[in-house]
Amino acid sequence: MTGLWYALVAILFVVYAVLDGFDFGAGTLQLFVARTDRERREVLAAIGPVWNGNEVWLIAGGATLFFAFPQVYAAGFSGFYLPLMLVLWLLALRGISIELRSHLQDALWRQFWDAVLCGSSAAMSLVLGAALGNVLRGVPLDSSGTFMAPWFTNFRVRGQAGVLDWYTILLGIFAVVALGVHGGLFLAWRNEGAVRERAQRAAHVLWPMMTALGLVAIGATEIVRPEIYRQLLARPWAWLLMLLAFLGLIGARWLRDLPAFLASSAFLAGTLAATAAGMFPVLLPSTLNPAFAITAAGAAAGEHSQRVALGWWGIGIPLALAYTTYIYRSLRGKAVASEH
């Protein structure tokens, strides 16, 4: 059952990255693909009805991690206390900028909140990539199973590593570009006219950068955590995830509208799922000593707790999935800007 919970946690965070990822990408590109007030309202019409619902999957992933692997939840949330506060502020700023932007019909007011949306969205993309880098690289876990990561130390990936180093910053930049492509393809699908054309063009400009940065990130991961690829290649079923990522990468460049967005979603989902498959059974590596790493078996809750939690999970998650499906089906068609 421990393996099942590992997969469920990974799936929930993958779903969050795909759904909220296009929000971040669209917000990052807003100032570049929308040049008039009406065009910016068209962008907000595309993401406005769904951005807060997408964040439900982050809460679901965190809650599942809490009751399935409480040890890693405790270690991660205490060790990353300051970065998590930054995440909360950035999420709050994104929501405030979307909700308050149209409260006043004043150009300066709206330009300010547009800039806040762009900056907070780009920063969140960077933070998500750096967070993935920390999980892959590891954190300075000691023999007690705890750590306190400063923002940065010597920018190296071994020993008392900080939140930011050359590897985590690299993955953060890759995430900004990849989610920019994802958000651009979403806007190209959901919008019409000039916004659609500029969003499509932005996605095509960013695609080669994403591909190049992805290859660099693969090479860097081989240096930082080579066992991920060894374990991935030793599990033939995981090759399908790598194939999904590759086909999604190609489709994101050559397809249009909804198929292109779905291809981008497949690229992100396949990449993240393959990464999780390569890490299993490790949840949080240690940069001090591999023996201090937190594994799924070592961090799992008791068998009875897992069974009880699975029953509640089987009720709550399908309801969230049904609600998400209903919302997206209700918003079919092109986004239409509000009157103000």
Is 340 within the bounds of a domain? no
In order of 64, 205, 227, 268, the CA distances from 246 in angstroms are 29, 19, 21, 10
Q: How far apart are CA 207 and CA 250, in angstroms?
A: 10
Vertex 114, ends 60 and 39: CA angle to 5°? 100
Is 337 within the bounds of a domain? no
Is 336 within the bounds of a domain? no
**CB contact at 8 A, 54 and 328:** no
In the numeric block, the tokens 């240096």 are attached to: 223
Q: Record the pTM.
A: 0.95
Query: Looking at residue 339, what is its pLDDT?
Result: 63
Domains: count for the chain: 1
Six-digit token pair at 178? 């990849």
Is 258 within the bounds of a domain? yes
Q: ω into residue 236 within 30 of 0, thus cis?
A: no
Q: How far apart are CA 195 and CA 43, in angstroms?
A: 8
Is 248 within the bounds of a domain? yes
Q: Which residues of the chain fall below pLDDT 50?
A: none
Is 338 within the bounds of a domain? no
Is 148 within the bounds of a domain? yes
Query: Looking at residue 331, what is its pLDDT?
Result: 78
Six-digit token pair at 89? 């502020």
Residues 126-153 have pLDDT tens digits of 999 999 999 999 999 998 888 988 888 8
Is 268 within the bounds of a domain? yes
Residue-number span of the structural domain to which 233 is assigned:
2-330
Vertex 181, ends 178 and 183: CA angle to 5°? 110
